Chain A
Amino acid sequence: MAKYIGKRLIYMVITLALIATFTFFLMKVLPGSPVASADKLSPEQRAVVEARYGLNDPLPVQYFNYMFGLVQGDLGISINQFKGAEVTDVILSRMGPSAQIGFQGMVLGTVLGILLGMIAALRQNTWVDYTSTFVAIVGISIPSFVFASLLQYWFGLKWDLFPVALWKDGFMSSVLPSVALAMFPLATAARFIRTEMIEVLGSDYITLAKAKGASGSEIAFKHAFRNALIPLVTVLGPMAVSILTGSLVVEQIFAIPGIGEQFVKSIIVSDFSIIMGTTIFFSVFLILIILLVDILYGVIDPRIRLSGGKS
């Protein structure tokens, strides 16, 4: 196990270094100057600004400075949006709302999805099952931004149940975005749990439990549900990815001051250091989650032996 984790960590570092290098050089070849109103500045002023942010240094020097800062958790300085603020601070200051709607969406989606999948499996081939399968297919198919705009239109605008947008009413503001983000985890969990439960319900130990006279709910919760739940860990990775992808548009739609909204804004005004910082932040986040999921899966299901039988 330790060897496996070590190997994965090495890969992680290589991948991240690659991403950082790639983003760095990408930002250098990109059209558009990071000095915001470059046209209005006189050449002298421009030179001063560029010198201040180290834009005149030779490329290798800039690169090593950047990579060196990165190792210390320093993502550089925002040039045109925040007038010299640390990128790390910008990201951290915007993490709250993103983390809140992401977490709420994930929990809401997974819990509802598990319930839906369980009911569907226990009432297999009835209308309950068909409805749940339909909900799951719709949830996987409809993009989060379509769903988010629907929610905003009906629940925010027409029925006035929740704030239409902005981050001013505390928890109430977070309801619609969380629901929008919850759709994909909900659908994924429902499909997954249904398949797993049906498989588990057909296995020998369930028959044995029935033969021994265990009640229906006892079988469903104590025996079937527990075993169906374990493999759900494997889809946590794709769920996290979907939440992150969704947050870019959902935060945009509901005008939430989170990382996703900031990222899109930075792309539009080409604030290179923020784009680079956020890219690396997203990558670290996703790679860590996937690593964690793989390790967790090996730990909770002893039948899974990572890397060839020995742990």
Chain B
Amino acid sequence: MTQKIDKIPELPKGSFERITLDAHQAERITKPSVSFWQDAWYRIRKNKGALFSLILFGLIVIMAFLGPIISPYEPNAQTITHANLPPKIPVIENLGILDGVGTLGGQEVDLYEMKNVEVNYWFGTDGLGRDMFSRVWKGTQVSLFIAFVAAAIDMLIGVIYGGISGYFGGRVDDFMQRIVEILTGIPNLVVVILFILIMDPGILAIIIALTITGWTGMSRVVRGQVLKYKSQEFVLAARTLGASDSRIIWKHLMPNVLGVIIINTMFTIPSAIFFEAFLSFIGLGLQAPDASLGTLINDGYALIQFSPHILAFPAILLSLIMIAFNLIGDGLRDALDPKMKD
């Protein structure tokens, strides 16, 4: 701690220049002002995981629509003679992977050669000879559709319910919150399964089952935010100037609450994807020949021992979507959280 300080060398003259403070310049804004969203975008770009996930997810969505089109086979077309073929991709097959070689009776054989199949199935075929490539992307489409619609409905109900409850407060709030408290007490799993049971299985049934109590989380978050903001000065100012309730809600409160709404939705989507797959896996999901990632995984699981590729592709895709969404959600939460502002 007691280092000897050497003599400070003489500073050359001319390295410093006297400046004068100009009072008029003190208020000048040197940096361009960034809006909230520009700032958020800047921060999410810095988050490599989130950015990468965003790109990955974009690609998956594009493929979900393009995949069934570029594949020469229909998702539900059965070619029994081509059943259970392992994946084979033209160029990559030379690397010794995805080359159509599978085990038959304990031996490694090129099943394409053996079955006299001239064409290539990129992701192989399932037990009924259906092209897995088009089925997987079609299934992705269905899974994403269910998840997005369910999340949108959750958001809509949650925002309206939470908004009304928080904004009007008092007895309305009390009453509405008691209902939410009871609803959130019911385990999600139980609600979803029971509702699936009374409805005809299908996309609509799954969406309804997912949203029937799914909105409570969103409504709580929105209510909390509205409660926080409605007592602040800018709302009082707007009211003093004669703004109507709807104007205050839409113009003054909503922009402030939007951040948490987006974050919450980003976490609703993967949980909806998970529940859809879960229901399909225990046999309560879509019915054949409709396919989602969940039903594909379920089908693949039955054949795991001999044709693991049927399980592998939908499982990988489902996992990738879930990982991407969780990373995007994390990134957005960091980006939109005003407390993080630096």
Contacts and interface: CB of A to CB of B under 8 A. Distances in A.
B186 A248 contact: no
A153 interface: yes
Interface in A134-172: 137-138, 140-143, 145-146, 149-150, 152-153, 157
Given A138-B323, A146-B319, A279-B190, A268 B283 contact: yes
Interface residues of A, number: 41
Interface stretch (A9-17, A59-67, A198-206, A211-219): A9-17
Nearest to B298: A145
B301 A253 contact: yes
Given A30-B198, A248-B282, A268-B283, A146 B297 contact: yes
Contacts of A286: 187
Contacts of A282: 187, 189-190
A80 B197 CA distance: 18
Interface of A, helix, strand, loop or mixed by DSSP: helix
A241 interface: yes
Nearest to A150: B315
Contacts of A95: none
A142 B319 contact: yes
B318 A143 contact: yes
A228 interface: no
A267 interface: yes
B277 interface: yes
Interface stretch (B7-15, B86-94, B254-262, B303-311): B303-311
Interface string A243-276: 0110011001100000000001001100000010
Interface residues of B, number: 34
Interface in B257-295: 270, 274, 277-278, 281-284
A269 to B, nearest CB: 11
Interface string A224-245: 0000000000000000010011
B194 A249 contact: no
B278 A11 contact: no
A243 to B, nearest CB: 11
Interface stretch (A21-29, A33-41, A69-77, A100-108): A21-29
B188 interface: yes
A153 B187 contact: no
A267 B281 contact: no
Contacts of A22: 194
A275 B198 CA distance: 13
Contact of B304 (A143, A153, A264): A153
B21 to A, nearest CB: 37
A210 to B, nearest CB: 17
Contacts of B186: 15, 18-19, 283
A245 B326 contact: no
B274 A267 contact: no
Given A145-B277, A279-B194, 12 more contacts: A18-B182, A26-B198, A137-B326, A138-B319, A143-B278, A143-B319, A145-B281, A153-B304, A153-B308, A244-B187, A279-B193, A283-B190
Closest 8 CB pairs of A and B: A15-B185, A141-B322, A141-B323, A286-B187, A146-B315, A142-B319, A264-B282, A245-B189
Interface of B: 181-182, 185-190, 193-194, 197-198, 270, 274, 277-278, 281-284, 297, 301, 304-305, 308, 311, 315, 318-319, 322-323, 325-327
